Amino acid sequence: MAKDRRANAVLFGFDFQVNAAVVLMLENVMDFETIKLEGNYEDIELQLTNGEHILAQAKAVEKSSIDFKNVRKNLKNALISLSEGASKVNANQLILITNSPNPLNEATSKSLFYGNAHREYSTLPPSSQAIINNYLSDISNPLDPEKFVIKVFPFETDNERERYKAVKGMVDDFIGDLDLNISGLGKKLLLMWQNDVFQNGTKKDATIKLSKKDIMWSIIVIATEPSICDDKFTEYFDTALYNEITHQYRDIIDSCCERFEFFIKVLHDYNNYNSTKKQSERCIDFALTQWNNYIDELKIENAAEEVQKGLIQIVLYSIIRNRITIDKVKKGVNL
């Protein structure tokens, strides 16, 4: 049983770290350039566009709402690690990110950390600062307390809806700020970030950094799913053929929609495309008539001509139809 509990604690901590990375990324979405989990300096590292860094120690408590016995130890260890990281890289924020609503285990500051909280050292009461200062006094090269931040967000229980509620709320707010009207986008985006993007970022290779472009392109991948194509376009296809292409060649469609350079090429060609049709029909006309210009980029070996043609048309239309979404994302995250 003890082994199972330890294994569960490790998995819980890993899950928390991944979601903590999502939280910190969204809080700094306009300014970060790359993000790394398990990096050279800390659990979570964000490099900003100005060359500075944000370093974070992720400390999860399984029963965070009632268990405060180790939070002081977590604080102490975080300060030691962050001090070491700060000595190696130019950091403008040094963060303890946790799910404990009482990260200092004291009555005075407990009310400050209810729900989602972001508290700089300078905003903490004197008693809280004294606790932090006491730990810093035992460190040979302590961090600058004015750069120290305690970030708290709810994350507990085995009920996924409850555990991820705060993280999902932040993702939904982010999508709302981008003004994207895509049904189910928040849920799909969070799952993609949790299961694909950030889990890859935890590989023990400090050279692996996730760029903002790669992470935010997840939104475009979801937005350009063929299932989201409208009826005006799909009526040009035999239903069986359309379903075959979108299911059998899903990976190829995704790989094209993940290629930033391919998007730019298609949109450039579309902007230079001469047509007398109105805007909504111009999108369809381009996809249906210009597909043969992209055979080299989207060639499928041994595929029937109608499948090859249909695949390219679907990809082109998905990209063009979502050019406004692409522009909103680029502007909204400062790409």
Higher-scoring residue by pLDDT: 258, 328:
328
Are 178 and 280 part of one and the same domain?
A: no
Segment (H or E) for 44: strand 44-48
43: in domain: yes
Taking residues 237-248, what's their average pLDDT? 86
Per-residue model confidence (pLDDT) at position 205: 55
Are 131 and 230 part of one and the same domain?
A: no
Are 179 and 281 part of one and the same domain?
A: no
Q: For all residues of the chain together, what is the average pLDDT?
A: 88
210: in domain: no
Higher-scoring residue by pLDDT: 239, 117:
117
Contact of 34 with 44, CB cutoff 8 Å: no
| pLDDT > 90 in the chain, percent | 58
62: in domain: yes
Per-residue model confidence (pLDDT) at position 2: 46
Are 307 and 165 part of one and the same domain?
A: no
pLDDT in tens, 35-81: 999 888 889 999 999 999 999 999 999 999 999 999 999 999 999 99
219: in domain: no
Cα separation, 48 vs 30, whole angstroms: 9
189: in domain: no
Joined together, the tokens standing for residue 187 give 């849920």
Let me know how long the chain is. Answer: 335
Q: Which of 13, 18, 24 is nearest to 53 (CA)?
A: 24
Higher-scoring residue by pLDDT: 77, 254:
77
183, 208, 237 - which closes a domain:
183
Cα separation, 255 vs 299, whole angstroms: 13
pLDDT in tens, 106-160: 999 999 999 999 999 999 999 999 999 999 999 999 999 999 999 999 999 888 8
125, 152, 183 - which closes a domain:
183
**Lowest-confidence region among 164-173, 221-230, 292-301:** 221-230
Taking residues 221-239, what's their average pLDDT? 76
Residue 3's pLDDT band (boundaries 50, 70, 90)? Answer: very low
Per-residue model confidence (pLDDT) at position 301: 83
Per-residue model confidence (pLDDT) at position 1: 40
Residue with tokens 């939104």: 219
Q: Which domain holds residue 314?
A: 224-332
Are 234 and 104 part of one and the same domain?
A: no
Tell me 296's DSSP state.
T
- Burial, 71: exposed, middle or buried (Cβ in 10 Å; 0-12, 13-18, 19+)? buried
Are 125 and 273 part of one and the same domain?
A: no
Per-residue model confidence (pLDDT) at position 275: 87
Structural domain count of the chain? 2
Are 248 and 163 part of one and the same domain?
A: no
Residue 310's pLDDT band (boundaries 50, 70, 90)? Answer: very high
Of the ranges 11-15, 55-59, 255-259, 272-276, which is most confident?
A: 55-59
Residues β-bridged to residue 211: 34
Residues 6+ apart with CB under 8 A from 84: 41, 141
Cα separation, 131 vs 65, whole angstroms: 21
57: in domain: yes
**Lowest-confidence region among 27-36, 207-216, 234-243, 284-293:** 207-216
183, 214, 247 - which closes a domain:
183
Higher-scoring residue by pLDDT: 202, 147:
147
217: in domain: no
Taking residues 296-314, what's their average pLDDT? 88
Q: Which of 310, 196, 148 is nearest to 242 (CA)?
A: 310
The structure's pTM equals 0.83
pLDDT in tens, 83-104: 999 999 999 999 999 999 999 9
